[in-house]
Chain A
Amino acid sequence: MSDAIFRPFNPSDAERSDRSAGDRARHRVKVRESIRDNIADIIAEESIIGQNRDRIIKVPIRGIREYRFVYGDNTPGAGQGDGDSEAGQIVGKNKSQQQGEDKAGDQAGADYYETDVTLEELIDIMFEDLELPDLERKALRQIDAYRIAKRKGYRAVGIRIRLDKKRTARERARRKMVSRRTKGVSTSPASADVARRGRFPFHDDDLVYRHMITDVRQESNAVVLCLMDTSGSMDTMKKYLARSFFFLLYQFICTKYRNVEIAFIAHHTEAKEVTEEEFFHKGESGGTFISSAYQKALDIIQARYHPSLWNVYAFHCSDGDNFDSDNPAALKTAKELSDLCNLFGYGEIKPLGSRYYESSMLNIFRRLDADNFQTVLIERKEDIWPSFKTFLGKDRGQDQG
């Protein structure tokens, strides 16, 4: 037997030898395709709301399992006991009865039905085929949005390219005049010497540089106004549906704008601005004046998010229950709001099985004539994604038309 050959570890080989990169990329593509196919189901699941974007989500995958002819899980098997096994003892769980659990960890050969994606990735996938409506129109202006610098005053120091020649010459001229006026009162031997010879060169003190600052473009600011009815008639399920929708909206805006703020306005008969926590968890009793919320939104926009600097997205979730007397006011404020907003939406949440209210704001708002206003009806979890699409599609359709 000849000697064995040892090939030593070669770090540069190791770096180059990421041989599975191509296959991994292809697998990743398939995973994403599979997620995209099921995105509606995934969005309807509760797990994505109110979560950190780095959070890892388990997403069921269809289509990238490797299928073969295999025996069913209901077949008996043989194995090793713990040392003193007796008939009738339970040795484990029947795989076919466990659903949705990722067993890849301890069972070699078991195919996994779920894959991990970060929320971030999921959102990317969700939004890939959607574009934020307003951006399309502003797309041209959006180019180089953050590299554009704006002049702001002058400085005595700076880089050569920003030297302002005209102002520098003016500084020199000014200094020359001053030195002529003070002739005889020699400031320094050098300058006296220079003056005598008739030359008056530039001095460091003359140099003037343009000062630049990075401009904050208005396209990079957006605010999402979440309005919700927190009156007694909004139950947990309705709030959950509303929350999913707001979440989507916020996440979506986040992917498109650099600086996104969010404001929550809870209302019943009167509106107030609240924190997210309060927004979703505090129930109020009493009736509903929708106009109060809209008025509050208008106030907030005027005070903090002027439309010339901010892209305003407002969405209102309610169960459609409003005091009749408030409807004209609601309509009026809604009109004002849609004038200020990039997109303004009203979502009526009526889970199936809940009492059907005769007063539906959908009918009222039908009279509202604004291109960027959209009403949607959400009856079940599965409606969220299509509604969301409709909502965003409103503006897009207008662009295309």
Chain B
Amino acid sequence: MSDYTLTDLEYWDARIREKVQEFGLDCYPQEFEICDHNQMLGYMAYSGMPSHYPHWSYGKSYEKLKTLYDHGVSGLPYEMVINSNPALGYLMRDNTLCLQILTIAHVYGHNDFFKRNFTFQTTRAEFTIGTFKAHADRVRTYIDRPSIGYDKVEYILDAAHSLSLQCRRNLAVRKLSTEDERQRIAEAAASPPDPFQSIHRRVVDAEPDMKRVPPSPEEDLLIFIRDHNPFLADWEKDLLTIVHEQSQYFIPQIETKIMNEGWASFWHRRILDALELPQNLHLEFLVRHNQVVRPIPGGLNPYHLGLRMWEDIERFGDHPTPDERERLPPGKTGRDLLFETRDVDRDVSFIRRWLGEKLMRDLDLIRYEPRGDDLVISDVSDEEGWRPVKDMLLKNVGMGSIPVIRVEDADSGNNRTLLLSHAHDGRDLQLENAERTLGFVHRLWGRDVILDTVMNGKKATLTFGERGFAAKAAK
């Protein structure tokens, strides 16, 4: 059936690992599992996790993937690797030897990135699989408990899933405790020491509202609700914790999609070139590689953009143009820059720092706007257009595509109404989704929920209470 044996894979893996070490990549131990397409679809539906708690959305996801696959709309990924220590990669049994070699090399690229990039430091890779297993076991316990059962668990999970990405984005920033925050607010409210106190009129400091919950706007919606809705049962709180923890695990991957895919593509290319593959394998490799990293007009292929940027960083280090030379830190080679950047950036900072006008023009990056039925190009990456294009790109990468919603007040109007605010950045919320999601917030919070946002340039208030949803534009 396939044109290789396990021994072949082990042979090529050993050679690839030689190169990995030569290039200085720093990987977790690696494990590979060979699977068929059904298993692959299964892994994809459950984010690659060997065990995962049940929820219908994963069934939906499987059906969707399978339909697309069966109708040939989309192929399967050649590989899938999860951020764990040891890193766990899945290889498709039906792939050719060449694809397996490419995949293995690609996986080591991801592996290195998982281990070294700062965003992943919070994910506790050693415990990944165990944590997901423990979550699955806990959820199953609740399902099996006669007093709870599947329906009630699903009722909470449905709501929790809809809010799972409403959480802090940069997990490397330490979250302050409530006390610390209060102290900070008190300090900020106090007027600065005045050396001329005796001659000035005494200023009465405005008393900060120390009782306000939360002390400052809070992004972790699920956790906030868990901690501040006294009517939730312990198992309900636990479900919220589980969903929150799982999304925390995936946020680094969302935040570094372009870097991560680009990085793996960059290194699989390097490694395979260095392997001196036999002619036939090498030609197939080039074809596959170009399929993976080809640009998608109208869209944005993270493999392509990422790869081009990493290549540009290396070029910048090794062969800077005269203009660039002065910006280059002294004594740094291209390789140094690559590894530094891998460690300290995420997509937003990566693009901000490394995507220059020249590269943008080469990539033909554009900014488009809806006009009637069409999406129309508003800016191209020319002299005056590249800034708006880049700004737009920065807004959309990583978690930028998720609106920021914060809890402002848990006791608005002194009747435990939950006040949320949307940090509007020019992009309006999609109303139907907002309505449904607010419904879920209401389900978990148990009291009325208010969301302040902006719609069509006007302030708007969306509410969800006992009588359902209402939207009101401010005058």
Q: Which residue of A lies closest to B299 (CB)?
A: A79
Q: Which residue of A lies closest to B364 (CB)?
A: A81
A125 to chain B, nearest CB (A): 17
Q: Which of B125-133, B279-287, B333-341, B431-439 contacts A (4 or more CB under 8 A)?
A: B431-439
Q: What is the total of A-B residue contacts with beta carbons within 8 Å?
A: 243
Q: Which of A69-77, A230-238, A288-296 contacts B (4 or more CB under 8 A)?
A: A69-77
Q: Which of B59-67, B199-207, B211-219, B269-277 contacts A (4 or more CB under 8 A)?
A: B59-67
Residues of B near A112 (CB, < 8 A) are 64
Contact B35 A76 (CB under 8 A): no
Contact B369 A76 (CB under 8 A): yes
Q: Given A28-B59, A80-B296, A14–B377 Cβ distance below 8 Å?
A: no
B446 to chain A, nearest CB (A): 19
B17 within 8 A of A: yes
CB within 8 Å of B: which of A211-250?
none
Q: Given A6-B6, A66-B161, A94-B372, A19–B42 Cβ distance below 8 Å?
A: yes
Residue in B295, B367, B440 whose CB lies within 8 Å of A76: B367
Residues of A near B20 (CB, < 8 A) are 1
Residues of A near B14 (CB, < 8 A) are 3
Contact A90 B437 (CB under 8 A): no
Q: Which residue of B lies closest to A112 (CB)?
A: B64
Most chain B beta-carbon neighbours within 10 Å: one of A64, A80, A84, A112: A80
B229 within 8 A of A: no
Contact A74 B56 (CB under 8 A): no
Contact A69 B437 (CB under 8 A): yes
When chains A and B are docked, how far (Å) is the Cα of A90 from the Cα of B373?
10
A2-46 Cβ-contact flags toward B at 8 Å (1 or 0): 111111110001100111101111111110000000000000000
Contact A80 B370 (CB under 8 A): no
A304-329 Cβ-contact flags toward B at 8 Å (1 or 0): 00000000000000000000000000
Q: Which residue of B lies closest to A9 (CB)?
A: B34
When chains A and B are docked, how far (Å) is the Cα of A23 from the Cα of B59?
4
Residues of B near A8 (CB, < 8 A) are 6, 34
A36 to chain B, nearest CB (A): 16
Residue in A19, A70, A77, A116 whose CB lies within 8 Å of B392: A77
Chain B interface residue count, Cβ-Cβ cutoff 8 angstroms: 96
When chains A and B are docked, how far (Å) is the Cα of A329 from the Cα of B471?
62
Q: Which of B238-246, B310-318, B324-332, B422-430 contacts A (4 or more CB under 8 A)?
A: B422-430
Q: Given A70-B403, A92-B374, A94-B374, A23–B366 Cβ distance below 8 Å?
A: no
B389 within 8 A of A: yes
Contact B429 A72 (CB under 8 A): yes
When chains A and B are docked, how far (Å) is the Cα of A67 from the Cα of B13?
43
B78 to chain A, nearest CB (A): 16
Q: Given A80-B298, A92-B374, A9–B59 Cβ distance below 8 Å?
A: no
Contact A67 B56 (CB under 8 A): no
Contact A91 B375 (CB under 8 A): yes
A303 within 8 A of B: no
Contact A4 B298 (CB under 8 A): no
When chains A and B are docked, how far (Å) is the Cα of A5 from the Cα of B30?
7
A358 within 8 A of B: no
B466 within 8 A of A: no
Contact B365 A79 (CB under 8 A): yes
Contact B34 A7 (CB under 8 A): yes
Q: Which residue of B lies closest to A71 (CB)?
A: B427
CB within 8 Å of A: which of B345-379?
363-379
Contact B402 A80 (CB under 8 A): no
B170 within 8 A of A: no
Q: Which residue of B lies closest to A106 (CB)?
A: B73
Q: Which residue of B lies closest to A109 (CB)?
A: B401
Residue in A9, A25, A77, A104 whose CB lies within 8 Å of B368: A77
Residues of A near B419 (CB, < 8 A) are none
Chain A interface residue count, Cβ-Cβ cutoff 8 angstroms: 62
Residue in B56, B62, B433 whose CB lies within 8 Å of A68: B433
Q: Which residue of A lies closest to B92 (CB)?
A: A9
When chains A and B are docked, how far (Å) is the Cα of A370 from the Cα of B305?
76
A105 within 8 A of B: yes
Contact A66 B162 (CB under 8 A): yes
Contact A7 B429 (CB under 8 A): no
Contact A82 B377 (CB under 8 A): no
A88 within 8 A of B: yes
B460 within 8 A of A: no
A354 within 8 A of B: no
Residues of A near B62 (CB, < 8 A) are 20, 23-24
B246-281 Cβ-contact flags toward A at 8 Å (1 or 0): 000000000000000000000000000000000000
Contact B367 A78 (CB under 8 A): yes
B32 within 8 A of A: yes
Contact A23 B55 (CB under 8 A): yes
Q: Given A24-B62, A91-B366, A105-B73, A30–B56 Cβ distance below 8 Å?
A: yes
B103 to chain A, nearest CB (A): 12
B96 within 8 A of A: no
Contact A2 B296 (CB under 8 A): no
Q: Which residue of B lies closest to A75 (CB)?
A: B427
B47 within 8 A of A: no
Q: Which residue of B lies closest to A29 (CB)?
A: B56
Residues of B near A85 (CB, < 8 A) are 364, 366, 377, 380
Residues of B near A116 (CB, < 8 A) are 67
B405 within 8 A of A: yes
A86 within 8 A of B: yes
Residues of A near B304 (CB, < 8 A) are 80
- Known contacts A4-B30, A67-B432; 16 additional CB pairs below 8 A are A3-B17, A4-B32, A14-B35, A22-B59, A24-B63, A27-B63, A68-B433, A69-B437, A72-B431, A74-B428, A76-B378, A81-B297, A90-B375, A91-B297, A94-B372, A116-B67
Shortest 5 CB-CB contacts between residues of A and residues of B: A23-B59, A67-B436, A27-B59, A24-B59, A81-B364
**29 interchain pairs (CB within 8 A)?**
A4-B29, A5-B30, A6-B32, A7-B33, A20-B45, A23-B58, A23-B62, A67-B432, A69-B429, A71-B403, A74-B428, A75-B427, A76-B378, A77-B396, A78-B393, A79-B299, A80-B304, A80-B305, A80-B363, A85-B364, A85-B366, A86-B380, A87-B380, A88-B376, A88-B377, A92-B374, A93-B375, A94-B371, A116-B67
